[in-house]
Structure 1
Amino acid sequence: MKTSDFDYDLPQELIAQEPAAVRDACRMLVMDRETGAIEDRIFRDIIDYLEPGDLLVANETRVLPARLLGAKRGTGGQSEVFLLRQLVGSKAQPYADVPQIPGQPVPGENQQAIWEVLVRPGKRLKPGSGAVVDFTDGEGNVALSAEIVDWAEGAQRGERVARLTTTYPSLDEALHAVGHTPLPPYIKHYAGDEELYQTVYSRRESSAAAPTAGLHFTPELIERLREKGIDWETVELEVGLDTFRIVDEEDPLAHKMHTEFYTVPQKTVDAINRTHANGGRVVAVGTTSVRSLESAWDPSADDGAGAITARDRDATSLYLLPGSTFHVVDALVTNFHVPRSTLMMLVSAFSTRENIMNAYQHAIEERYRMLSFGDAMFIR
């Protein structure tokens, strides 16, 4: 097995630069997991492929306004800070006080936090240099400041640790005053409604990227599915930017899988057990839901028979490749993925590499819209 086995030629003009005009009116390629047989449908037709007693499990995480554009204090140089994840433990202990802006009150405890971040320009925002970036709100007032205080542990792409402070009532309020919803790097000039990069069922803001397979669902479609007797439950996986990384190593087994945090509530565990006991299928909405559910499988549970167990913000670096066993998920709603990515490997593991590559070739020939804002694929 080589990383090049999961490569394909992706025409740039097929990379969707904006969402579908109507979420559930996008195209959907339906593929039989075993035979590789393909059908071309519309996404809302997914109801025709689901039966009463089936269970959809979606990642309900919401994308943070994680892209912060500001100016370096003292020089005014344009700077960008991208929030990756809030840190806990030793890295979250207080650092030296951030130099305050004269005339502004000192932030309280609920107005400070430690985050792992990416910055630009990196050479001008080095840890230990006293570098502080200020971000202004719509009225021109400094709403949020970020002091670059340390290198992130195990940094591979120049990740840093920043201490965020605000004089707003809360950091959350400040982030919404100055932050922007980040889009994948291959979406170049989208200037439309940022809410269209959120799922309609999203809740807690905790991700740097959207679980995009869920973008195709509408409240009306979810209600129709429920009326048919198809259940709906959720998990939460905090999606990181590494989800867009390609695998650089020629041997995919040499690739170090990134770590993300996930939650599988007991309510979802109970619904999965009930679904399987009654002969129904567990249908994961997106690869992040797959990783959550399969990470929650405990092979030692149930006297060694194995069972899915509830998890509360546990860490996972699960890497699913051809040859991996799926214990929980029976069908998958997904999008079309970046060549040479771990997501290409995951969907190939769920079916076969040959089936997936044939389906992608069909999608390209039929001019499907690709990647995050693109069309859907249902592997059943």
Structure 2
Amino acid sequence: MLDFIYYPVSFIMWVWHQVFGFLLGDTSGIGWALSVVFLVFTLRLILYKPFVVQVRSMRKMQEMAPEMQKLRKKYANDRQKLATEMQKLQQQNGANPLMGCLPILVQIPVFIGLFHVLREFKPGKTENYFFDAAGNASFVESNFFGSKLGAAIWPLQNTSGVEEIGGNYVSQWIVMVPLMIMAGVFTHITARHSVARQQAQIAAGTAPANPQAEIMQKLMLYVFPIGVVVGAPFLPLAVLFYWVANNLWTLGQQWLVYKKIDAEESVKQEKAAESAKALAPRPGQKPVRRNGRSAAEEIREIADEPPSAEDVAAADAADASPKGSDGASAEGTATGTNGSSSSATNGNGSNGSGKKSSGGGTKKPGSKPVNRGAKSKRGKRR
């Protein structure tokens, strides 16, 4: 049923056994153990590129977390719209949530395939997928410091026991116990390295806190390593070599890939800082006012008429002032402009109906400043 997994796994293991069997001997237990180890290295090397894509995709998903949270609130009652907007956001940022799980999903069938191939090495079998009768006999007869790589101390169904393939329990325990401890320790170290990065990202604010993720982190740190140690006697000894090699590769790969990606992020941040610095106004440069308009342009809009020479001079003074955008200089200039225009028209600051214009040239104590967004009454009359 799963031959499409069993045959590739057995083929890679067969290739490496040809290499180490030539160097160390066809029935060498060390050669067979190295065949399992380099089977792991070969598969992980094939999965190196997907792992890098996984890390980058996870980074992008973390950067998108605030936007995704906004979408969840906005479309809380419309699941279909939420899914559409989420997909659109991921496409715009080049993120793919499935890539975060791909390397792990691929390793699961590989482990299943190796476990199945190892337990099929039994006395008297004429073939084991890519291995012929001679290859099967070579594995059964091999010894790794007196232990049998294909035997389990407490065998499960269809798994060979120690006595079944000519081993002894003392040698099996002597070899298995150190491997059990190494498998548990390296599993814990690998998980701790990954969890430490996640916690650092949460502390830096680049990733949101997630209670479910915290539960998974505790499982990775303690439950999984204990599970490896407890389950080791039920598995063929060669599976422990697979587990130790896989965790060592993962630890080294995480260190290398994260270091590379962190360096790339640092370069991007430095370039962004240099660009922002280059676009910043120079010392003494006239600042641009609201929406790109200078104070003089705002005054013309408020007055709704061409300013006089005095108005232009006052506007230039406001532009040179630090408060020209929002402070009192621009406001006072605007007031003076409206006041002078109204007074010049009527002579007494009135608007023709006997009412005093709101833009009078003299600002009374306690009076409110002219509203910059509104036109003068003279502008409305025109």
The TM-score range, normalised by the shorter chain, is under 0.3
Q: Please identify which structure carries the higher helix content.
A: 2
Q: Please identify which structure carries the higher strand content.
A: 1
Name which one, 1 or 2, has greater alpha-carbon Rg.
2
TM-score with structure 2 setting the length: 0.20
